[in-house]
């Protein structure tokens, strides 16, 4: 079986690119053309969640009832929701009256008379879009339900950014293609700044006790975006609302500045914008880094030959090392080693795998040490929210590994390189969270090591 993925790693700052400027007239023409593909929606919140559902992590991001994602849940246990709900709702209704003639203009009160976390964040983003949102509304005037489309755009943009707030941030499906487009049109550096700025906005919106505080949070994010970037965000979201990855890929060439965007994508990570639909996931496994997992369904002679061993080659790294799945086990095999060296049985590894999954189920933020908790809290208080999330992920992995060290004392544990070795067999094991981007990262860092990946 051929290799499933190729990997592209984009480090912020490696190849600096500038956001493409999108003028008012080009924006208006593109919005009008793309918006005709967007179907009317009586429930913009639900439609946005449905569009990005493949990327939602239900245990962290969504509450599910009867198989449907119904609302976003708190992402940060240290982020209490302010209680002045009536004042915020009143401010929102005044905003709707001033800007849109009244009513529940963004659909924030459809699920109740107060503003929950998702509502506040979405409202703050709408305030951040400011005049560009008014440009969008004017461009949509000829549509049957312009306000419904406008609301859907804002909700989808807010939900997309929320996907980056989890400790192991990753976008999948249509959301991954949106990330590729943002990297191409805005540049990886700008996208990272937007993600971090959104994390700050969320932190402030959850604590806001007045509409003016929400407006100020939106104003700060607006300054970070600027009008050209705001237009790009809304254009990419509109292209995504056309329906599915295939339609989204077909819409990208219709966006202003596509030739320059294609060149910037190639410069930053060797990406072909025309083949954006081949990108399956985009993750941020390390600070200021994006890792793209790109499907590679075409056969390769080397991969086909190795697959005769019964192994599926999941990732072929640029250095020739590869990660394989064989007999339900994931192994990293260096370029100069044969897949045939993978043992037929590995009882110790199987025991480690079961113990890692058990330990991960028992993890909670309550297991953080005081120093770790303070480090995360301080980072968030200083506005470094994405960095704080990455630290939390690292601390979680360290805790799981420490549980395994106590449970398997006869293994030789190392603070550097591969985590553990069985002195009886010489087999080595690396303990890590099981996201595709994290596994790719470990394989790239230890390209010359032969080891089994123990994931949780």
Model confidence at 419, pLDDT cuts 50, 70, 90, reads very high
Burial 394-419 (b: 16+ CB within 10 A, else e): ebbbebbbebbeeebeebebeeeebb
Question: Is the pLDDT assigned to residue 218 strictly greater than 90?
Answer: yes
Least confident of 80-84, 175-179, 264-268: 80-84
What is the chain's mean pLDDT, rounded? 85
Q: Could you read off the pLDDT of 242-253 as tens digits, one per residue?
A: 877 888 999 999
Q: Could you read off the pLDDT of 344-396 as tens digits, one per residue?
A: 999 999 999 999 999 999 999 999 999 999 999 888 887 777 788 788 888 99
Q: What is the pLDDT of residue 361?
A: 93
Question: Is the pLDDT assigned to residue 62 strictly greater than 80?
Answer: no
Q: Could you read off the pLDDT of 121-152 as tens digits, one per residue?
A: 999 999 999 999 999 999 998 887 888 899 99
| Mean pLDDT of all residues in 294-301 | 61
Max mean pLDDT among 15-19, 37-41, 236-240, 282-286 falls in: 236-240
Q: Could you read off the pLDDT of 150-177 as tens digits, one per residue?
A: 999 999 999 999 888 877 788 888 999 9
Q: What is the pLDDT of residue 301?
A: 47
Give this prediction's pTM: 0.75
């Amino acid at each position: 079986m051929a290799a499933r993925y190729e990997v592209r790693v984009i480090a912020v700052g490696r190849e600096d690119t500038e956001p493409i400027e999108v003028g008012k007239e080009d924006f208006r023409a593109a919005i009008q053309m793309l918006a005709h593909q967007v179907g009317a929606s009586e429930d913009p919140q639900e439609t946005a969640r449905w569009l990005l559902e493949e990327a939602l992590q239900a245990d962290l991001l969504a509450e599910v009832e009867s198989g449907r994602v119904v609302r976003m849940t708190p992402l940060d246990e240290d982020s209490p929701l302010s209680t002045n709900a009536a004042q915020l709702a009143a401010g929102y209704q005044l905003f709707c009256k001033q800007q849109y003639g009244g009513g529940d203009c963004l659909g924030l009160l459809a699920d109740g008379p107060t503003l929950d976390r998702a509502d506040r964040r979405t409202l703050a983003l709408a305030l951040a879009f400011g005049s560009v949102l008014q440009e969008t509304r004017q461009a949509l005037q000829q549509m049957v339900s312009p306000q419904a489309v406008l609301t859907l755009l804002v909700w989808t943009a807010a939900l997309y950014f929320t996907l980056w707030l989890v400790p192991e941030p990753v976008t999948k499906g249509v959301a991954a293609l949106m990330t590729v487009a943002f990297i191409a049109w805005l540049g990886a550096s700008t996208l990272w700044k937007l993600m971090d700025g959104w994390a700050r906005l969320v932190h402030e919106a959850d604590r806001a006790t007045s509409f003016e505080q929400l407006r100020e949070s939106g104003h700060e994010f607006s300054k970070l975006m600027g009008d050209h970037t705001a237009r790009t965000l809304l254009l990419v979201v509109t292209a995504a609302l056309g329906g599915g990855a295939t339609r989204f890929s077909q819409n990208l060439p219709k966006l202003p500045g596509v030739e320059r965007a294609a060149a910037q994508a190639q410069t930053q990570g060797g990406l072909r914008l025309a083949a954006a639909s081949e990108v399956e996931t985009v993750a941020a496994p390390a600070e200021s880094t994006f890792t793209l997992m790109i499907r590679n369904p075409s056969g390769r002679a080397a991969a086909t030959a190795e697959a005769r061993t019964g192994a599926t080659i999941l990732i072929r790294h640029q250095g020739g090392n590869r990660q394989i799945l064989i007999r339900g086990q994931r192994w990293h095999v260096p370029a100069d080693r044969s897949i045939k060296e993978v043992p037929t049985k590995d009882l110790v590894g199987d025991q480690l795998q079961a113990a890692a999954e058990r330990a991960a189920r028992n993890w909670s933020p309550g297991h953080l040490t005081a120093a770790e908790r303070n480090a995360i809290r301080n980072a968030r208080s200083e506005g470094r929210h994405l960095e704080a999330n990455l630290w939390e992920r690292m601390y979680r992995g360290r805790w799981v590994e420490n549980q395994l060290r106590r449970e398997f004392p006869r293994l030789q544990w190392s603070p550097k390189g591969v985590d553990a070795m069985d002195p009886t067999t010489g087999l080595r094991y690396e303990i890590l969270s099981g996201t595709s981007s994290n596994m790719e990262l470990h394989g790239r860092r230890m390209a010359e090591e032969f080891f089994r990946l123990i994931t949780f």
